[in-house]
Amino acid sequence: MGQSGLRVVLKLTWIELKLFLREPMTIVFTFAFPVVLMFVLGEIFGGQADADADVFGRVGAMNYYAPAYIAVVAMSVGVIMLPARLTDYRSGGVLRRFRASLVPVWAVLGSQVLGVLVLAVVGGVLVVGFAAAFYPVHFPDSLGLLAAGFLICSAAFAAVGTLLGAVMPSPRAAQGAGLMLFFVMLFLSGASVPTEIMSPTMTRIGEALPLTYGVDLLQGAWIGGTWDRTSALVLLVVAAVAGLLSLRLYRWD
């Protein structure tokens, strides 16, 4: 990719960010919903450092939930916002105009992914800031591992969202599929209900969901400064497979 290609991607990314921020769904599911749900969980389970040690890994509820909801933010932008945007572009003829102007498909998809990453960073910072302001949350044990895990997690969900945008026939279908995935993963991944108190059946279902591995990866970096290689590998495989399928199946019209 030359300098001209990079400029195209960055310009498209800036435009996409402004368009994303005009969408009420972006504000709700990226910035408001994770914070509100964290507040509810914090009030239910409390913020004491030794609360429910067997459930929350002896670190307290909010040290458990803060990294989990960083992953939730990455998921929400990737599987709700991104597919709807891509299908809206296709149904509205925007992609045909891109193609007519010789903008390559990788530049269009790349700008969408970069926009998702920026929004996820902002949403993640809001989650951490809220948790730190109102509950006894300690600083991440490894900020570097947390950042690396966040990038991998965001890439995986951006790839999944791009794949949904490639195969869904309309913006409503894409948004519906994204919302269904969002809530299934939210409640079965350990992000809301700790896996220690879930039934064996629900736990097995959760093991098939990408968010489970995103939560494990970020919690390991936050709580113990450890790198969960299995979770990182699963997310990288998800990103690679979904990304390649997206490029293969992506249609301009």
pLDDT digits (tens, 9 = 90+) for 99-113: 777 777 777 778 888
Average pLDDT for 56-66: 76
Q: Residue 23: CB partners within 8 Å, gap ≥ 6?
A: 81
Inter-residue contact 95 to 253 (CB < 8 Å): yes
Cβ neighbours of residue 172 closer than 8 Å, sequence gap 6 or more: none
- pLDDT at position 56 is 66
User: Alpha helix locations (H) across the chain?
Assistant: 3-20, 24-26, 33-45, 61-76, 82-91, 94-100, 105-134, 143-167, 171-188, 200-206, 210-219, 229-249
pLDDT: which is higher, 25 or 239: 239
Question: Could you give the number of structural domains in the chain?
Answer: 1
Residues of the chain with pLDDT > 90: what percent? 38
The whole domain housing 139 covers 3-249
Residue 188 has pLDDT above 90, yes or no: yes
Region 194-213: what's the mean pLDDT?
Answer: 91
Confidence class of residue 147 from pLDDT cuts 50, 70 and 90? very high
CA dist 169 → 67, 80, 92, 160, 238 (Å): 34, 15, 12, 16, 22
Q: Which pLDDT band, with edges at 50, 70 and 90, does 173 fall under?
A: very high
Of 167, 165, 207, 183, nearest to 76 (Cα)? Answer: 183
Q: Please state the φ and ψ torsions of residue 125, each to the nearest 5 degrees.
A: -65, -40
Question: Are 157 and 71 in contact, with CB atoms under 8 Å apart?
Answer: no
Task: Output the pLDDT for position 47.
Answer: 52
DSSP at 98: H
- The alpha-carbon radius of gyration of the chain (Å, integer) is 18
For the ranges 1-10, 22-31, 73-82, the lowest mean pLDDT is seen at 1-10
Quote the tokens at residue 57: 């890994």
The tokens of 21 are what?
């921020």
> Model-level pTM?
0.87
What pLDDT is attached to residue 45?
Answer: 74
pLDDT in tens, 40-54: 887 877 655 554 455
pLDDT at residue number 3: 52
What is the average pLDDT across 186-191?
Answer: 92
